[in-house]
Structure 1
Amino acid sequence: MMKVSRLYLKILFAFILVQAVAIAGIGGLLKMGHMRPPFTLHAKNRTEALKQIIGLETDGATRLTPELRARLDRVLDIYANAFSGDAWITDERGVTVAQSYRTPPLTGEEELELKLVTKQNDRIYFIRKGDKGSIYSYGPLKTPLGTLTVHLLNEWITHNEEVWFMEGLLLMATVAALLLIPVSRRLTRPMVQMTRSAQQLARGDFTPRVFDDRKDEMGTLARTFNHMVNSLEKMVRGGRELTANLSHELRSPLARIRVSQQIVLERLEAGRTDGVVKHVRRMEEEIDHMDSLIDQIMKLSKLDLQEPPPREDMADMNVMLEEAAERVGPLTGARSIRLQLYLSPVPAFRCRRQDLRIVLDNVLSNAVKYSPDNGRVDIRCGAEWEDDREAVVIRVSNAYPPLSDDELEAVFAPFRRLGYDEVEGNGLGLAFARKIVEDHGGTIRARSEDETFRVTIRLPLDRE
């Protein structure tokens, strides 16, 4: 399993690689002219703003008076100082009519590199002079005085704008990479906890859980992991209980077989044959009982392991209940127990008929066995709606002393029986019933109230 520290490094290196590729791509686009760095766009906006200001100052003027020239000088001086640069205006002949400087900033020896031409015919250049560089822009402005050209030269810097831009990107990438450290640790913290929990699980310790208060995908993963641990704990505990209960169930018939075997051996050694046949038949009965018990355990295990087969039968639940009541008839007659059916019309639905027959037989026979002599078992069936789904609901009730919630849940566990010594059976009937009902997408619940024990089965009405 990959260590979390390596995972963190992989996240960090992957982020740095993405940043490097992005910076290289942006640099290539800048060199090819397909992308404008922010300094060029700033120069464009500043030039347009200065042209608007000059247009307002010259609006209505018929000639360039000394007063207008002085006013334009002040505007250019204020505007240029705001950007630590220089600004000036030339007329149609190229003569400077207003400026913010005393010494001309350009001597004609500079190298110009055109960067942008706007729709208003403004031109943006990168200008070099020695080891310094700047952004120079100018654009025409139509005024009552004629067409003037507004010039703007930004502050001289020792790096060109692409270098500044790339260095800024690199700085942001570095800061982002540093911020990624706590983010990555937060992301990988649940994985560290899950690794430790998994190691404890491997040692058979099911107590650790992962802190799952987060609302993101890692929180979902943590909650799923905790659910898995809970399920594994229940499975292991159930397996241990099943082994213990199965051992108990098999120990009793084995003990009886051993006693019968000892009696048969003693009588045969004494030359006697009286009672031998009876004890041999008793051993056969015990062997058949163990064989049946093991067969049911194997069937229950298969239900847990294999995917449920498709539901291909169409069945009428009322008819199935009437047939099940007839099958448990011999159990009721001997103890004078009445079966009372209350059946409402229910549409036929798709199911596995043979499996549901097992469910009904187990539930009804269980109700009869635990009912007192001369008692009554009520069987009700009808269609009901719950959560916008139609279902067939069967309720089987019989008289029985009140049970706690833990006892009600335990009746569906394998080998759990109420009245263990008084009632025949192996405690697998309701365990089978629950598994089959759940494979049909339904539920089976037990409830105890007013000296009545009730089992409720709810099966979705799948008519297709």
Structure 2
Amino acid sequence: MKNWRLRTQLILAYAGLILVGFVTLALVAGRQITRGAAEDFEQNLETQAALVARGLEDLVEDYLEGDIGRDVVQTAVNDFAAQLQARVTLVMPNGEAWLDSQGAPPGENLRADLEIAAALAEERTRAVRPDENGTAVIYTAAPIIEDDDILSVVRLAVPESATLSAIRRRQLVLAAGVLVMTLLAWGAALWLSASLTRPLEELRLSALRHAQGDFSPGPIPNRQDEVGQLAQALNHMAAQVAAVLAKQKAFASNASHELRAPLTAIRLRSEALREGSLDDETTHQYITEIDDEAIRLSHLVNDLILLSRFDSGRAEWGQEQIDPARLAHTVCQSLQAMAQQKQIAVHLDIPAALPPVQASQSHLYTVFHNLLENALKYTPPHGQVVWRLAAANDQLHSILQDSGQGIAPEDLPHLFERFYRGDKAHTRATGGVGLGLSLTHSIVTFYHGRLTITSPGLNQGTTVQLWWPLQNMGLTAV
């Protein structure tokens, strides 16, 4: 099957519709024109008969009174016949034809003819019948009246073929009109198909560029219809794909870097241990460092796996009823050594009756743990961390405030990006890789919660607020 282009398909479709439409119009209009032209011709013939009767009225009266000869009337009849290109016959009221433009009048009595009978009754009509030669002829007649008396009847006879010329003239006008309208419609169809397909062609080229990896924005047609909206949506999609690809490249680069660092450390220390030239103290130190790097690597891999589950929608909604107060105390105990090492005071403010939270305990534990661990990491020694929990509007509200180094305003919009570090030197010193907040934000978003981080500026502390639904809103596992 031939692969027609869209513009060709549109042109052919328009051409077919135009052809069918105008052919139908021509057939219907032609039929009406034929009927109308014949009707107009015959009505005009009746009018001409009446005019001839009026024109001959005085002459016929004078002839019948003997004031003029027959030849005078004959001349007038011949003149009318020549002007009208019709046969003119004068008939007496008794039906006898007494004068004819073609010479000798018909010998038979014409009183029974339909048009003669109608004229004698002072009515108008017309009849079509063959003449003596078998030719179809249109007949009509009009009376010559003087003082309410019918002096004679004028009959006009025209071959029926004479109407064809009138019909043909109107049909020629119709054909010319249809031709002009067809050409105009064809031009409009070409213009319309071009105006429709031109932006679509631009969109096609843009889509082909996107398919080849070029996500630069394409031209947007100056129109507000579906085509314009499609162009805007395509450009928006291309921008989103480009942003996602850029994030994927950055993620792959950062992930490989973060994985390479502990692997390199493990490989170097294992090589040194394999040589067997180290003293006992250094050997023990290297084994401890290998163990630490392995733990760090395990945490990193686990975080990446968990992130991928939330991104792909493969994570499951937890159905456990969790006591948030108890979980908060558990998290504080797990990080107690870290707080004591830096001599940071952790104040936990929890009301007596806190409703349970329906979620996965491991998910909520990860969120609490990451937030408190971050607060402890970035709070200098002898600082303090205040953690408040409350319930309002069917949500658990957590507020975590520290007296730490704070966050620069330019870093705030990027805190949830993967592997993002504001103070890179300090982040590396604390052992962070920039995945904790990203993972926390993904978990909170998955449960339709909300997480915000605010800071007045550097060295002015940070406030982290979490809103977590008490119930999972009836959603089932995905």
TM superposition score normalised by structure 1: 0.61
Secondary structure at the residue paired with 2:170? coil
CA 1:371–1:285 in 2, change beyond 3 Å: closer, same or farther? closer
Determine the structure 2 residue equivalent to 1:131.
164
425, 430, 455: which is aligned to 2:432?
Answer: 425
**Deviation at residue 230 of structure 1 after TM alignment:** 1.6
Give the match for residue 9 of structure 1.
8
> Corresponding residue for 1:377?
386
- Cα distance in 1 for residues equivalent to 2:225 and 2:276: 76
Equivalent position SS for 2:5: helix
Partner residue in 2 for 1:313: 319
| Contact in 1 for aligned 2:387/2:398 (Cα 8 Å) | no
**1:383/1:392 contact within 8 Å kept:** yes
* CA apart distance, 1:413: 1.3
Q: 1:456 deviation in Å?
A: 3.7
Deviations 1:298-348 (A, max 9, x none): 3322322x23556463757xx326513431334254133323436699877
2:272 corresponding residue in structure 1: 263
Where do residues 293-442 of structure 1 align in structure 2 (5 Å cutoff)?
293-304=300-311, 306-307=312-313, 311=317, 313=319, 319-320=323-324, 322-332=326-336, 333-334=339-340, 335-341=343-349, 354-373=362-381, 374-383=383-392, 394-401=398-405, 403-418=407-422, 419-442=426-449
Equivalent of 1:228, from 237, 243, 248? 237
In structure 1, what residue type is equivalent to 2:201? V
Aligned length: 361
Structure 2: how far apart are the matches of 1:95 and 1:348? 114
User: Do 1:212 and 1:220's aligned partners in 2 also have CA atoms closer than 8 Å?
Assistant: no
Deviations 1:356-382 (A, max 9, x none): 443333223323322334312343544
Q: SS of the residue aligned with 1:207?
A: coil
Aligned residue in 2 for 1:76: none
Tell which structure's C-alpha radius of gyration is larger. 2
- 2:417 counterpart letter in structure 1: A
Answering whether residue 289 of structure 2 is matched by residue 282 of structure 1, we say yes
Displacement after TM superposition at 1:224 (Å): 1.6
Deviation at 1:238, TM superposition (A): 1.0
Runs (5+) with no aligned partner, structure 2: 41-53, 55-114, 130-135, 139-159
In structure 1, runs of 5+ residues without a counterpart are 47-65, 67-89, 112-126, 135-155, 385-389
- The whole-number CA distance in structure 1 between the counterparts of 2:409 and 2:197 is 41
8 Å Cα contact 2:455-2:463 kept in structure 1:
yes
**Residues 17-66 of structure 1 deviation map (CA, whole Å, 9 limit, x = unaligned):** 334445566678x59xxxx979999xx9x9xxxxxxxxxxxxxxxxxxx9
1:286 CA displacement: 1.9
User: Which residue is equivalent to 2:73?
Assistant: none
Shift of 1:423: 2.1
The answer to whether the 8 A contact 1:200-1:208 is kept is: no
- The structure in which a higher percent of residues are helix is 2
Instruction: Give the distance between the partners of 2:420 and 2:363, measured in 1 at CA.
Output: 21
Structure 1 position 449 matched with structure 2 position 456: yes
Query: Residues 409, 261 of structure 1: CA spacing in aligned structure 2 closer, same or farther, 3 A cutoff?
Result: same
C-alpha separation in 2, matches of 1:218 and 1:343: 58
* Cα shift at 1:93: 5.6
Do structure 1's residue 158 and structure 2's residue 165 form an aligned pair? Answer: no
C-alpha RMSD of matched pairs (Å): 4.7
User: What do residues 228-252 of structure 1 show as CA deviations (whole Å, max 9, x unaligned)?
Assistant: 1121111111122112222321232
Match of 1:176 in 2: 185
Find the aligned partners of 1:244 and 1:320 in 2 and give their Cα distance: 37
Q: Which amino acid letter does the alignment assign opposite residue 189 of structure 2?
A: L
Letter in 1 for 2:269: S
Partners of 1:225 and 1:345 in 2: how far apart?
52
What is the CA–CA distance in structure 2 between the aligned matches of 1:13 and 1:427, rounded to whole Å?
60
Per the alignment, do residues 105 and 192 of structure 1 end up closer, same or farther by CA in structure 2, a change over 3 Å counting?
same
Contact between 2:206 and 2:218, CA under 8 Å: does it hold in 1? yes
2:256 is the alignment partner of 1:247: yes
1:412, distance to aligned residue in structure 2 (A): 0.9
Q: Secondary structure at the match of 2:349?
A: strand
Residue equivalent to 1:51: none
How far does residue 274 in structure 1 lie from its aligned partner after superposition?
Answer: 6.1
Amino acid at match of 1:295: N
Please state how far the C-alpha of 1:411 moved relative to its aligned partner.
1.5
SS at structure 1 position matched to 2:431:
coil
Q: Is the 8 A contact 1:443 1:457 kept in 2?
A: yes
